[in-house]
Amino acid sequence: MHIPTTPKRAATAVVALAAILAMVAVFTIVRSGDSALAAPSYIEPVTPTGEVHEYRLVAAPTSGALVEGTETDLWTYNGSTPGPEIRITHGDTIRVILENNLPEATSIHWHGIRVPHAMDGVPGLTQPPVEPGETFVYEFTPPDAGTFWYHSHQRGNEQIARGLYGAIVVEDPAEPDYPVDAVWLVDDWLVDDSGQLDPDFDSYEDLHHSGRWGELLTVNGTTGTTLEAAPGQRIRLRIVNTANARVIRPDFGSLDPVVIAMDGLPVGENFPAVDIDLAPGNRMDVDLTIPTDAQGDFVVGDRYTGSEPIEFARISVAGDSVDTPEFPTPVGDVADWSGLIDDQPDHTVTISFFSEFAEATSEEQDEMLAGEQFGEFLWTLNGRVWPDAETLTATEGELQKIRIVNESGQMHPMHLHGQFFQLISRNDEPVNERHYRDTVLLTAFQTVEIVVAPSDVGNWLMHCHIQIHAEYGMAMLYQVEPDTAAS
Ligand SMILES: [Cu+2]
């Protein structure tokens, strides 16, 4: 269900001034002690158009059909999961009035969008929680075009698992106009035989393993999602992993999509969409041309957990062939920070856990096992538990390398708010990724190195995107200070 947007025109003088400021500003990135490096192109400020798209999102309990014929108790924005798709042109402003009709506090985070700090939607850090019956107004002009998503950032292990999320598309007028431009929000649901969500959102099993994984896969909140296409059609498909914990590896069968964007931003060079792991939070935009001799259904599924894909949607090809529009496959300007692989990290983040069971004597463990009470279990970053967390510091414009070490046997998709980063190594081997990210998956006992160009001043959250891990401690702060020497 869509809420009508209400475009309003701001004073043109403000727009003109912003345009002038955009032209005179000089952006460089430095590596401490080194000469200036090329700044990532995304740091260039957006010129606001003055168009404001206003949405009212009402978070409330709802009954909805994930599977045809079954009503499931969900929590949704405006009565459906996903909530309304927010689609704007780059430079436009989004204003969202969040109304909380849930039985508990909530907030909205705009995943991947470099919003002003006060709009980031982290309760207790960037705003107070929005209590039942209250409203909160979010307003920002996304500085980057691309595929993003919004979701609750309060008790995500239940609120996101119950359906509180939706898509945001910021269209770039400079990019080619695809005849078909679709968003697939992929999710999984842990449901019982009656079609209801498993109510144990704080499951100890999920907590000390890799979170809540469900058997029921949906796209855009339903099974059986089908994208209708014609032979020869050229499609932009935006895939978002909105799951609480499940990693998906999209499999397109005999189709040959090409990746054009990762985590919102255009990739530096295109590559086939084969064996790409999308962790919770990750996005992938692909350019897909349907072969002119194709007919019938093409299954798209997840191949992360096995050799046979688990179907989550279909592309149904029928009818006469259409002309395939000719335009270059989009690419972006991506800085090359791979040379930092030999540098000392500016920060090291170690992922571990505290387990009362593991700390207990064998007699105590026997008692705990008998009573199925395993005591406290918490996820830690550098030995600390949110909100008593460590703060990593950075200065705007000074490139940083962060080493993240997973000392646990579980996977952790680490998400940084407020900035993009580049993954440069896994287990000290170069990865040669030619794109930016806002979320990177660490598998068991893996070490990664990322490079961040701190671009947005503020005290930002960095956390695991497995919702139950974040809820039980796995978050810390990344504080970007203004560069006072620059002015
Ligand atoms: Cu985790």
Spatial distance between the Cα atoms of 60 and 201, rounded to a whole number of angstroms? 18
Centre of ligand 1 to C-alpha 349, Å, is: 13
Centre of ligand 1 to C-alpha 471, Å, is: 10
Report residue 83 as tokens: 């909530």
Tokens 């499999």 sit at which residue?
251
Identify the bridge partners of residue 147 per DSSP, sorted by sequence position.
169
Listed in sequence order, the residues at least 6 apart from 107 whose beta carbon sits closer than 8 Å to its beta carbon are 98, 121, 122, 123, 127, 129, 130, 136, 152, 153, 154
3-state class (DSSP) for residue 117? helix
**Of how many residues is the chain composed?**
487
Spatial distance between the Cα atoms of 411 and 349, rounded to a whole number of angstroms? 15
Listed in sequence order, the residues at least 6 apart from 166 whose beta carbon sits closer than 8 Å to its beta carbon are 57, 77, 82, 83, 84, 85, 86, 149, 150, 151, 185
Centre of ligand 1 to C-alpha 329, Å, is: 35
pTM: 0.92
CATH number 2.60.40.420 is the correct assignment for the domain at 12-162: yes
Spatial distance between the Cα atoms of 397 and 405, rounded to a whole number of angstroms? 25
The reported pLDDT for the residue numbered 1 is 32
Listed in sequence order, the residues at least 6 apart from 96 whose beta carbon sits closer than 8 Å to its beta carbon are 54, 55, 56, 57, 86, 108, 137, 138, 139, 150
The count of other CB atoms within 10 Å of the CB of residue 241 is 26
CA angle, 278 as apex, 272 and 284 as ends, to 5°? 55
Tokens 């107004």 sit at which residue?
137
Tokens 């359906």 sit at which residue?
163
The reported pLDDT for the residue numbered 27 is 52
Centre of ligand 1 to C-alpha 83, Å, is: 26
Centre of ligand 1 to C-alpha 469, Å, is: 5
Centre of ligand 1 to C-alpha 27, Å, is: 35
Centre of ligand 1 to C-alpha 413, Å, is: 6
CATH homologous superfamily of domain 180-317? Cupredoxins -  blue copper proteins (2.60.40.420)
Q: DSSP secondary-structure letter at 9?
A: B
Centre of ligand 1 to C-alpha 305, Å, is: 18
Centre of ligand 1 to C-alpha 241, Å, is: 16
Listed in sequence order, the residues at least 6 apart from 306 whose beta carbon sits closer than 8 Å to its beta carbon are none
Centre of ligand 1 to C-alpha 43, Å, is: 29
Spatial distance between the Cα atoms of 4 and 377, rounded to a whole number of angstroms? 45
Centre of ligand 1 to C-alpha 100, Å, is: 28
CATH homologous superfamily of domain 338-486? Cupredoxins -  blue copper proteins (2.60.40.420)
3-state class (DSSP) for residue 96? strand
Name the segment(s) of the chain with CATH classification 2.60.40.420.
12-162, 180-317, 338-486
User: In this structure, what are the phi and psi dihedrals at residue 434, rounded to the nearest 5 degrees?
Assistant: -105, 55
Centre of ligand 1 to C-alpha 34, Å, is: 35
Environment class of residue 47 by beta-carbon count within 10 Å: exposed (0-12), middle (13-18) or buried (19+)?
middle
3-state class (DSSP) for residue 108? strand
Nearest to residue 337, comparing CAs of 260, 448, 452?
452
Centre of ligand 1 to C-alpha 35, Å, is: 37
Report the 3 state secondary structure along 358-408: HHCCHHHHHHHHHHCCCCCEEEEECCEECCECCEEEEECCECEEEEEEECC
Q: DSSP secondary-structure letter at 469?
A: H
**Which DSSP helix (H) or strand (E) runs through 16?**
helix 12-24
Centre of ligand 1 to C-alpha 164, Å, is: 20
CB crowding 102-123: b at 16 or more within 10 Å, else e: beebbbbbbbbbbbbbebbbbb
The reported pLDDT for the residue numbered 38 is 65
The reported pLDDT for the residue numbered 9 is 31
Centre of ligand 1 to C-alpha 177, Å, is: 38
Spatial distance between the Cα atoms of 425 and 100, rounded to a whole number of angstroms? 42
The series of mean pLDDT values per 10 residues for the chain, 487 residues long, is 32 38 49 64 89 98 87 96 98 98 98 97 97 98 98 97 98 96 98 92 94 96 95 98 98 97 97 98 98 97 93 97 96 93 96 92 92 91 97 94 98 97 97 96 98 94 98 97 77
Centre of ligand 1 to C-alpha 212, Å, is: 11
